[in-house]
Amino acid sequence: MLLPSLLRTVVPLLAGWILVALTHLGFSLNSDTAQAGVTLAVAGAYYVVFRLVERTVEKIGGPAWLKGMAGVLLGWGTPPRYRSTDSIVELLRESRP
């Protein structure tokens, strides 16, 4: 399931970039490198928070809508499920809609 994995990677990065761009986090960064670092840190925190919500709700049996919403905010409603394979061609074929 390549598509869910890609979406769950790209969506938090975009969310981190948008959050930094909209809020400026209360200060201005003149360096592109510093701006990129803050954006990646925010994106990482975004991913961790919503993944922890998703995982916690799953473990304690919380409301399904909360788990689903956390998944949607990560780019895909449910965590991808993987099976062990070494074939890239097979993985790509399975990820087609």
pLDDT in tens, 6-38: 788 888 888 887 887 777 665 566 677 777 778
pLDDT in tens, 45-87: 888 899 889 889 989 988 999 989 988 888 888 877 766 766 7
Question: Tell me, what's the pLDDT at 60?
Answer: 92
Residue 62 carries which DSSP code? -
Question: Tell me, what's the pLDDT at 31?
Answer: 76
Question: Tell me, what's the pLDDT at 1?
Answer: 55
Question: Tell me, what's the pLDDT at 97?
Answer: 63
Exposed e or buried b for every residue in 61-89, given b needs 16+ CB within 10 A?
A: eeeeeebebbbebbbbeebeeeeeeeeee
